[in-house]
Copies of this chain bind each other. A is one copy, B any other.
């Protein structure tokens, strides 16, 4: 089943959000408009807006209000991608040139700032100080995570806790904030708000681990960027940490540096794939997925709960 089929009852609302996203980044400035639209049109799964809407379904769902929250969360995500591409010096994302590649680092920095700012602006249209607070707290944590990620690069003596802390900030917090904000805006009852929040966190952890596995097992075509790119950039992910428990593999991994040849990198990747690291990582992802499903088991049955369940499973099992 395709992802889109899982929330087909919300299709017209998702289209509204897509239009709202485009309208929101229509700056007067040509550079800003073009760079933002370029980013938007490169696509993406729109997971964060979907989580906002689905969480909102458990309360007083009003698309005109909640769509602003959904757009806001997607924009935060987009802004962080733009700045990440500057840090990671990435030229490709989803098979498209990045803003820093098509323009330059300076344009990318300010485009990211602008999208950040628009995100906060559109959220401030909703009269829900609690939602503003969640958004603001989340952005702070995401920023701290980004600095952490720079610090941890090529740090081969880090442990699994460092990794979990990093992906929590990098991915899980924004997805859990999406569910929570959706719930707040729709006045979902307190107990369910907390469960939706927790659910988003577990799904985010499961999702990011899969993402990190795919960087090893995916093809360049599937990933929209060369495989092994994370490792080459010094991002030590879960499969790497598991594989390094083998001393022979460890000795290979610690030779990784930005300038190494494709062939050398391929050898390191192969040695990682030859361990049980991929399978163990997938098991951890599964564990988070199961926690996610357990967390929402008490929520009222219906379309929204089915959709959340199916999406969580899809994200935890996806091939690219």
Contact = CB atoms under 8 A, between A and B. Distances in A.
A105 B132 CA distance: 29
A151 interface: yes
A144 B32 CA distance: 8
Interface in A15-31: 27-29, 31
A52 to B, nearest CB: 18
Contacts of A135: 120, 124
A132 B124 contact: yes
A251 to B, nearest CB: 29
A120 B106 contact: no
Majority SS at the chain A contact face: helix
Interface string A173-201: 00000000000000000000000000000
A29 B137 contact: no
B31 A147 contact: yes
A144 B114 contact: yes
A120 B143 contact: no
Q: In the A-B complex, list the 4 residue pairs whose CB atoms are closest, starting with the nearest.
A: A121-B136, A114-B143, A117-B139, A124-B136
Given A112-B113, A116-B139, A121-B136, 12 more contacts: A27-B144, A32-B144, A32-B147, A83-B109, A107-B150, A110-B143, A114-B143, A117-B136, A121-B137, A121-B140, A124-B137, A125-B133
